[in-house]
Structure 1
Amino acid sequence: MTFHAPSLALTFPPPFITPFPCRLARIKTPLITINSPNPNPRNPRNRPLLFSSSPSPSSMGSEAEIERVLWTEEEIARRVAELGAAISADFKGAVPSPVVLVGVATGAFLFLADIAREITVPVAIDFVRAESYGAGTESSGEPRISGDLKIDVEGKHVIIVEDIVDTGNTLSRLMSHLEKKGPLSVSLCTFLDKPARRRVNFELVGEGKFYRGFECPDYFVVGYGMDYAELYRNLPYVGILKPEMYK
C-alpha cells in the first residue's frame, strides 16, 4: 500500500496578515551651541553650555606653580609605612585599647588616612581643628581650637597626627588642650617637621612618643593635604610653591 502526503501550498504573506509599509524613524539629537545669535531658551539647540567638563587650573592649583618636588608619592608611601610599623610596635598590647588617633584638620587628612591603614593595633579616630594660618603663609602665632573631639580620651593613649610642625605654637596649644581631658599619654606623629622655625617648645604628655616623617627645609610647601589658600591639597607629592604665587 502506498501513502501520498498531501501537498501544502504556502503563500506569503499569510492571508491573515495584511502587509503595511514600515519606515524607520530618524531621531534627531539636539545640539547645544554656545553664544547662539538668536537664543531661545525653549529650543534645545540654543541653550548655552553652562559648565565645562574640565576644571580650570586656577581652581585646583597647577603643577606648573611648583618650583621643586621635595618628596615623591613613592617616597611618602615608604616613609608612612615605616611610621605605621613603629607605632604598631610601640603600642602593641597597650592598655587601655584602642589608641586614639587625633587628626588635626584639615591638612593632616591624607596623612591620617594613610598611616591609619599601616597601623596594626586597634585604633579609634577623631579630629580636632586648630587654626593659625588662615589664607596666608605665616602662622598668626595665636592658634585657636575651633573644632573639638567627640571621643572621650580620658585615661587613653592619644596620638596627635599633624601635617607639619614649624613654630610649635599650634602644637603647644593642642597639647595643653588635650592634657586637660585627662589622657594617659599624648604622643605626636607629624608628617613634616620644620625645626628651623621653632619658637615654642612643646612637651609630650605622660610617656608620649615623637614620630617624624621628614625634616623639612625652610620653604613654604604644599601637597599631600597641605595647602595655600585651600589649593594644592590634592597633589600626591610635596613640593615647594613658587614665591610669586603668594607674594
Structure 2
Amino acid sequence: MSVTDSADVVATLRRAGCVFAEDEAALLIEAAGADPARLDQLVAQRVSGTPLEYLLGWVEFRGMRVGVRAGVFVPRQRTGFLVEQAVSEVTADSVRVVDLCCGCGALGITAAAELTGRGCAVQLVAADIDPVAVACARENLASLHAPVYEGDLFDALPAELCGHIDVLLANTPYVPSARVADLPPEAREHEPLVALDGGADGLAVFRRVAEGAAHWLTPGGSLYVETGTEQVDTAHAVLREHGLAPRVETSEEYYATVVIGTRPI
C-alpha cells in the first residue's frame, strides 16, 4: 500500500515497532523529497529492518551529520562520551589524533572539529581493516585532508607515527561472541561482524590495541576505549600489564563506560 503522508508513515513505522516513529517519519520524508515512490521504498526498507542511517546515508553524531553506507558500523550515540572525554583532556596547542577501528570516521572527524574549534591544531589519521569502512571514512575525512589507511590495527599506520600519537581513539568491538546473537536484528543482520564481535570475553581486540598503544603513544598520550561495565576490571589489568596507567570514566547520561590508558611520561 502506498504511503501518502506523514500520518501514514508514522502509523506504518509504529506498527513495525519503531519506537521513535514520528522522528523517523520526518527524516524519511525529508530524504525522499517530493518523490512518493521513493518514500514508499524507504518506508518499506525501514519496516523490513534496514537501519535508518543506511536509508538516510548519514548519522547524527555529536551535532554533525556523518556519512554512512550499507555494511558500515553505525556509531552509537553513547560513544560520543568517548570523544567528549578525549577532547576535554587535551591541553596542548597541537595534537596527533588517531582514530583506530574508525568505521565511518565519526570519532575522528568530530574530535578534530571540536579541537580545531577551540584553536588546537590537529593532525588526524584513521584506519580500519574493513575496505567498505575505509572507503566511507575517506569520503567523510576528505575535507580535512586526513588520510585513512586500510589494514589490521597498527599495521595500517605509517611507521613515523610510532611513539608520537597523543590521542588514540579506538572504538573496538566489545560484545562477547556468545552474545552477538542477542543483538538487535538491525545490528547482527546488517552491520559487519568484525565491528561487533569482541571474542570470548569481548576484549580480544582491546588487548591487541592496548599492547600496541604502549609503543605507539607518545609519553603522556592516552588511549580511549569504550567497554561494558562488567569488563572494566579486566580492561584495567590489561592496560597495567602493558605499562599504561588505567582509569575509567562513566556517564549516566550516555549510559557509557570509557576505559583510558595513559603512557607514563
Taking structure 1 as the reference length, what is the TM-score of the superposition?
Answer: 0.40
Structure with more contact order per residue of length (Cα contacts < 8 Å, sep ≥ 6): 1
Determine which structure has the larger helix proportion and give its number.
Answer: 2
Taking structure 2 as the reference length, what is the TM-score of the superposition?
Answer: 0.38
